[in-house]
A = this chain, B = another copy of it.
């Protein structure tokens, strides 16, 4: 059965250093939670994971469709429940990209395929949150 593995080491205060293959990511709590903000908060990393997953899909699909593009960024906002444990109950992803007007329908197709078929992180988010997507052409 295929699996992913990561390890995380407590480094003092509220900080943890994660080992992900050959890569390291430091996480920390914000000062209001007892940390010193020496790295991103864990919950925000979940939004980052979502952006990366759907972003890689979109680039991969646009490449396959021979679509030229530039200035591709994504903004992700996750709205938190008031009650604990605080989860993201709603997430908005805004894809911003520069491409020709003729290729806009291909961009819409790429985002749709990522949303419905390819992006595992998006599928996981949909189990607990309403996920909205929007495309803005730069």
Contact = CB atoms under 8 A, between A and B. Distances in A.
Contact of A25 (B9, B40, B76, B82): B40
A50 B21 CA distance: 17
Nearest to A78: B4
Given A10-B55, A120-B85, A48 B18 contact: yes
Contact of A8 (B7, B48, B121, B122): B48
**Copies of this chain present:** 2
A73 B23 contact: no
Interface residues of A, number: 71
A37 B22 contact: yes
Given A8-B55, A21-B44, 18 more contacts: A3-B79, A4-B43, A5-B78, A8-B51, A10-B59, A14-B59, A16-B52, A16-B55, A20-B41, A23-B40, A34-B60, A42-B50, A43-B49, A84-B118, A84-B120, A87-B124, A88-B124, A124-B127
